[in-house]
Amino acid sequence: MNVEGKKILDGIFPAWGVCDFAAVSDCLLPCKAAKDIPRHAASIIVAVFPYSMPDEKYKNTDLARFAAVPDYHHVINIRLEKAVNELKNIFPHEDFACFTDNSPVPEVYAAALAGLGVLGLNNLLIHPVYGSWVLIGEIVTTLKISADCKAKPLYCDLCGLCVNNCPADALGKAVFEKNTCLSHVTQSKKTLSPEQERLIERAGCAWGCDICQLVCPMNAGAVSRPLKEFETGFRSRADLSEDNSDRVWAWRGDEVMGRNLRIIGGKE
Ligand code: B12
Ligand code: SF4
Ligand code: SF4
């Protein structure tokens, strides 16, 4: 990336790196958005977006931290699109496509390859400054940018605390048991089993699950410097009587959140 391009990215992203598209092209995730990947994609500009407030803000929370801020898909896409618009001015003949979450790119792996942190046994990217409290977004481009980190990604301290404290026993197996993960259960539209309801009740969390991050010692010194968009829209509790159209759970409809709030005895 030339100096001008770097300046653009530094001004929009709190932290970013680059990985070769070829490094992930063999392990793309099945996703409708895959059709948007530019033909002859060469590089991926991966960015991380910190979202965690200081710990005291979560004393009375009934949400996982990613769900206590405005919908990150929207917030991150605005920043990614701003970067693309500015990059197009200096690289008018290149193609760019933005993705976050709803992405064929295995984002955790791509971010680790881009030198943005290590791979946790909890499946998450742990950034050296913000810990795992970051969301990930990326720009896939035909622009050839030399990747920052050509080495294989590094792993976390492997202390096992996330595995031992996972309430759903989803971690530490050969394959992550995503359907048993509490985060998945809270987001499921299906009728829950009594066991799944008990899982939600015990955790007291109406959307998502942060247990494997809260116990992680590599998050102990994580710096809390959330995006300003996240900070201004922060709400530590779910309340269905408010306008929730900018919340991450809105796409699932009020029924799912209503069910979860009933289970944990929160405000519907
Ligand atoms: C589906 C999904 C979920 C599902 C399933 C999760 C899962 N791990 O499978 C559910 C609903 C459970 C979930 C929960 C959460 N999620 Co989620 N989720 C995703 C999503 C959309 C896809 C993940 C996926 O399917 N991975 C498939 C597996 C197989 O991929 P993988 O483990 O990375 O492995 C691939 C690569 O790493 C690669 N690979 C690995 N090693 C190697 C080695 C070599 C040599 C090669 C070639 C390839 C390779 O190959 C694998 C197969 O493709 C991603 C966004 C994305 N597009 O990546 C977000 C994402 C992973 N989730 C995210 C978050 C924040 C969460 C939660 C913390 C939310 C919460 N608080 O409740 C929890 C955490 C649960 C946990 N401990 O994993 C963030 C993670 C941010 C971070 N710091 O890492 C992401 C990146 C979304 C985002 N844009 O920020 N999630
Ligand atoms: S999010 Fe919760 S249920 Fe899912 S793996 Fe982490 S600790 Fe286990
Ligand atoms: S809790 Fe331990 S094993 Fe799990 S991600 Fe953190 S450092 Fe790795």
**Residue 55 among the catalytic residues:** no
Q: Which of 162, 168, 153, 146 is nearest to 212 (CA)?
A: 162
Query: pLDDT tens string for the chain (268 positions)?
Result: 888 999 999 999 999 999 999 999 999 999 999 999 999 999 999 999 999 999 999 999 999 999 999 999 999 999 999 999 999 999 999 999 999 999 999 999 999 999 999 999 999 999 999 999 999 999 999 999 987 665 667 899 999 999 999 999 999 988 898 999 999 999 999 999 999 999 999 999 999 999 999 999 999 999 999 999 999 999 999 999 999 999 999 989 899 999 999 999 855 5
Distance of alpha carbon 82 from alpha carbon 37, whole angstroms = 18
Distances (CA, A) of 12 to 7, 58, 82: 9, 27, 8
- Residue 141, classed as helix, strand or coil, is strand
- Reading phi first (left if > 0) and then psi (alpha if -120 to 50, else beta), residue 117 is in left
pLDDT value at position 253?
86
Give Cβ neighbours of residue 150 (< 8 Å, ≥ 6 apart). none
3-class SS of residue 106: coil
Closest ligand 2 atom to Cα of 171: 5
**Cβ count near 248 (within 10 Å):** 22
Model's pTM, two decimal places? Answer: 0.96
pLDDT at 154: 86
If DSSP codes are grouped into helix, strand and coil, which group holds residue 155?
Answer: strand
Helix 194-203 × helix 254-264 angle, to 10°: 70
Please give the Cα distance from 45 to 113 (Å, whole number): 11
Task: Please tell me the distance between residue 268's alpha carbon and the centre of ligand 3 in angstroms.
Answer: 35
The ligand 3 atom at the shortest distance from the C-alpha of residue 171 is 4
pLDDT at 151: 64
Supply the pLDDT for residue 147: 75
Nearest-CA residue for ligand 3 atom 4 is 162
Phi then psi for residue 70, to 5 deg, are -55, 150
Binding site membership of 161 for ligand 2 (Cβ less than 6 Å) = no
Pairing status of strand 96-99 against strand 118-119: unpaired
Does residue 15 line the site of ligand 1, with CB under 6 A?
no
Residue 1: its pLDDT value, please?
A: 82
Residue ranges covered by each domain of the chain:
3-141
- Cβ-Cβ contacts under 8 Å for 214 (sequence gap 6 or more): none
Closest Cα to atom 2, ligand 2: which residue?
Answer: 209
Q: Identify the pLDDT of residue 53.
A: 98
Say which of 20, 55, 101, 210 is annotated catalytic: 101
Q: Is 101 exposed, middle or buried (0-12, 13-18, 19+ CB in 10 A)?
A: middle
Residue 156 CB neighbours (<10 A): 19
Q: Supply the pLDDT for residue 268.
A: 53
Q: How far is CA 18 from CA 23, 47, 146, 189, in A?
A: 11, 9, 7, 36
Position 150 scores a pLDDT of: 59
Which long-range CB contacts under 8 A does 157-164 form with residues at least 24 apart? Answer: 157/217, 157/218, 158/121, 159/217, 160/121, 161/215, 161/216, 161/217, 162/120, 162/121, 162/122, 162/211, 162/212, 162/213, 162/215, 162/216, 163/121, 163/122
Tokens for 212, please give them.
């494997």
167 Cα to the center of ligand 2, angstroms:
7
